Structure 1
Amino acid sequence: MSQGRSLRLFLVDGTPNGLLTAEIMNWTGHVLTGPRSKLAELVQRAECARTGVYFLVGPDPDDSVRTRVYIGESDDVAQRLKQHNRPQEQGGKDFWERVCLITSKDQNLTKAHAKYLESKLIQIASQAGRCLVGNGTAHSYTNLPESDRADMAFFLEQIRIVLPVLGLDFLRELIKPSKLVMESVEQPVSQSPRFALQLPKSKERAQAQEVDGEFFVLKGARARAQWVGTADHNYRNLYQQLVSDGVMVSDGSEYLVFKDDYAFSSPSAAAAVLCGRAASGRTAWLVEDSGETYAAWQDSQLNGVGVKPEN
């Protein structure tokens, strides 16, 4: 079992939608985040005058289902954020709705450190595939002594721990079921049994597995070739987006096939895309070995858990 961490959150103005700071025990890093509407307050804080890296986060203008992230660095973040806040025709960026700034409490981050972190963060976000990285071509920056690179590796590890806690998961590694089979994964990973779903009026069966809380439809699964449900259903846009992105492609038959494992937000989202209409994933997905529904399997996990006595 991995060791626990102590994370300190502080609501700067006492409201959940305002500025927020976050720190991890025994880490020199400091996180400041807030909505774009609070930018005037954010840039007045002392952290914004330090050297650091920052993230601009918002929906992709060309694809509202997907998140766009711009990753930058500066030794005067306040000034850089003011530039990004300008209208797009004046060199600013329109898409972002939230900003997150990472600096050092001991102010030992140098410009070289920040450029190295920016380069690594762009690489990590691109490889994770959870967002559209808005930086364009990333330049690798490796001009750091070996000892500094080791320090920055630890710094990066802490950033990747704290950001998902704040609802920013674009740096979190996407651990696909196929990766668990083909590669050894160092970190502890929770995984469910395999589930199966049979398409309506068809003999086609798709497979899925839950890994670290994410519900993956497995590579090779077949889905209906068109959306047959109501036109205004929430998952219709997701279905169309997966077709547009090439996640589901035609294989010459009457179905679409998944090119790779794909993570859905819920079993119902996965079932709806496969069936081309609204579907209850909790009852449509069945455990392959036992035939029990996803809902029954989940209940069985709860029934086997007792309450730990207080010390």
Structure 2
Amino acid sequence: MPIGKSIRVFLADSTVSGIRYAELVNWTGQAVACPRSRLTELTSWPEASKPGVYLLFEARLGDSKPLAYIGESENVTERLTTHDRLKEFWNEVVIFTSKDENLTKAHVKFLEATLVGLTRRADRYELENGNTPPESSLPRADRDAMAEFTENIRMVLGTLGYPILEPLLKATIPVAQPSGSTPQELARKSSAIDLTFKVNNLLAHGTLTDEGFVLKKGSQVSKFNTDSAAQRVVKVKEQLVADGRLVAQDDHLVLQEDFLLSSSSYAAVMVAGTSRSGPQSWISSDGRTLKSIEDAAVNDA
């Protein structure tokens, strides 16, 4: 069972868009988030002038993947003010250093390589990094310590609004449950169930997550949209085609990667190209509609 964590965020000037300092309780690591427009103020933050890793983030614009860059330095503030400030795309940086002096150059290079690899696998951002940097050689104990450090970075980044290391889909569970499972337990697990939607010779797969509804890679999508289709969804579909994430195949489109939408209905509209009810459209392999699964969760709560 996962253990709860406490994260403290200090707003330096009482604004959520200004400089923020974040830390996990009982963790030697620390984070400083800073808008690009206030980069010069980092010189007064000793927490940012240590060996560490940093992530440059582009503001999310429309439905295109935002850009990001991951780097490391023995003095992050100096690196940012003399080099990476010249990169044009980013509007905020998040820096991770240690409260003690135990984070070395080898450690931060290892963290950089790990973060780049995890970001590429999560596939939420377009990385400006060219190649994945090689991992530095560390003793086994240090590698385990950096694995824990990385996990804490993941949690802090997500809390600050950057789920760059979070895969859209966790491991799914089969619909067939152990005989001892109660209806309430099944309802709690419903968000991991694979759901399908069949319409007009199209077949799409998806699943509920804590963030919304994920339309899965390989789903077939209508090329056409009726007037009843939500214009918000139509615009998203057009952007996915322009980005190459929806590719024409025969008389339909095929999704090239998992894609997050805010609701099951939006996902159904994207697939069908017409107005649809998601809870009524998406079906589990045992024949239950998403609506029946959600109703069960409410009744058994």
> Same fold per TM (> 0.5)?
yes
Structure 1 residue 287, shift from structure 2 partner: 5.4
Please give the TM-score of this superposition, normalised by the length of structure 2. 0.81
- Greater displacement, 118-127 / 209-218: 209-218
Structure 1 residue 232, shift from structure 2 partner: 9.9
Correspondence for 2:57: 57
Correspondence for 1:79: 78
Distance 1:8 1:112 in 2: 28
Contact 1:60 1:132 in 2 (8 A): no
- CA, structure 1 residues 64+25, in 2 after alignment: closer, same or farther (shift >3 Å)? same
Q: In structure 2, the residue corresponding to 1:65 is in which secondary structure?
A: coil
Structure 1 residue 291, shift from structure 2 partner: 5.2
Structure 1 residue 225, shift from structure 2 partner: 1.4
Correspondence for 1:309: none
Contact 2:63 2:239 in 1 (8 A): no
Structure 1 residue 49, shift from structure 2 partner: 1.4
Identical amino acids, percent of aligned pairs: 36
**Correspondence list, 1:111-190, <5 A:** 111-175=105-169
Look up the equivalent residue of 2:273 and give its one-letter code.
Answer: G
Q: In structure 2, the residue corresponding to 1:106 is in which secondary structure?
A: coil
Distance 2:150 2:216 in 1: 30
- Greater displacement, 158-167 / 76-85: 76-85
Please give the TM-score of this superposition, normalised by the length of structure 1. 0.79
Match of 1:270 among 267, 270, 281: 267
Distance 2:204 2:215 in 1: 7
Q: Provide the alpha-carbon RMSD of the alignment.
A: 3.2
Name structure 2 gaps, 5 residues minimum.
176-187
Correspondence for 1:223: 221
Match of 2:234 among 227, 233, 236: 236
Correspondence for 1:44: 44
- CA, structure 1 residues 44+233, in 2 after alignment: closer, same or farther (shift >3 Å)? farther
Structure 1 residue 96, shift from structure 2 partner: 0.8
Match of 2:247 among 246, 249, 254: 249
Listed one character per residue, the Cα deviations across residues 38-67 of structure 1 (whole Å, up to 9, x for unaligned) are 323334211121111111001489x86211
Structure 1 residue 168, shift from structure 2 partner: 0.7
Listed one character per residue, the Cα deviations across residues 238-281 of structure 1 (whole Å, up to 9, x for unaligned) are 212333444433332x2223355544343233223213356553
- Greater displacement, 34-43 / 188-197: 188-197
Look up the equivalent residue of 2:294 and give its one-letter code.
Answer: Q
Q: How many residues align?
A: 289
Correspondence for 2:179: none
Distance 1:28 1:16 in 2: 24
Name structure 1 gaps, 5 residues minimum.
87-91, 182-187, 306-311
- CA, structure 1 residues 230+46, in 2 after alignment: closer, same or farther (shift >3 Å)? farther
Distance 2:209 2:60 in 1: 26
Correspondence for 1:185: none
Distance 2:274 2:43 in 1: 46
Distance 1:189 1:212 in 2: 12
- CA, structure 1 residues 207+60, in 2 after alignment: closer, same or farther (shift >3 Å)? closer
Listed one character per residue, the Cα deviations across residues 19-38 of structure 1 (whole Å, up to 9, x for unaligned) are 21111122100011132233
